[in-house]
Amino acid sequence: MLKMIELPYPLTALEPYYSKETLDLHYNILYKGYVDNTNNTEEKLRVVREKRDFSNIKCLEKDLSFYGSGAILHELFFENMGPAIPTEPDIELMKQMIKDFGSYEIFKEQFTEASKTVEASRLVFVSMGS
């Protein structure tokens, strides 16, 4: 059974970049929904196995993938955000970003646009330049 992680900081910790209301929505409503639905789907799969009736397996496996990845991605977000995170990458990361993207600004622009257009249940892979 999947359990919600504790939010590692108060709901106001990411302000002014991320409002208390927005963090509350993502933690207490959306993330909770992904965790609850992952557990509900796992229970349905347990029943399916018990009955040995796999006629709906495609739908259940898709649900498990969708809800499970939604929960994991929210945990990654919560654990990687925080009030003490520097606003600029360290020197080594900055060098690599300049090498891969041309500049830090271009990386941010590409990442921002990709983040806005890709659904929440999928990982965002930012294609690097050659």
Residues of the shown chain interacting with Fe ion in the complex, contacts defined by CB under 5 A: 26, 30
Give exposure, 32-47, as e/b (b: 16+ Cβ within 10 Å).
eebbebbbebbeebee
Residue nearest to Fe ion (CB): 26
The residue type at 46: R
- We find the least distance from the C-beta atom of residue 24 to Fe ion, in angstroms, to be 11
- We find the least distance from the C-beta atom of residue 122 to Fe ion, in angstroms, to be 13
30 vs 45 by CB, closer to Fe ion: 30
55 vs 80 by CB, closer to Fe ion: 80
The residue type at 36: D
26 vs 44 by CB, closer to Fe ion: 26
The residues near 102 (Cβ < 8 Å, ≥ 6 apart) are 129
The residues near 104 (Cβ < 8 Å, ≥ 6 apart) are 88, 89, 94, 97, 98
- We find the least distance from the C-beta atom of residue 71 to Fe ion, in angstroms, to be 10
What is the C-alpha separation between 80 and 70, in angstroms, rounded?
Answer: 15
- We find the least distance from the C-beta atom of residue 44 to Fe ion, in angstroms, to be 23
117 vs 127 by CB, closer to Fe ion: 117
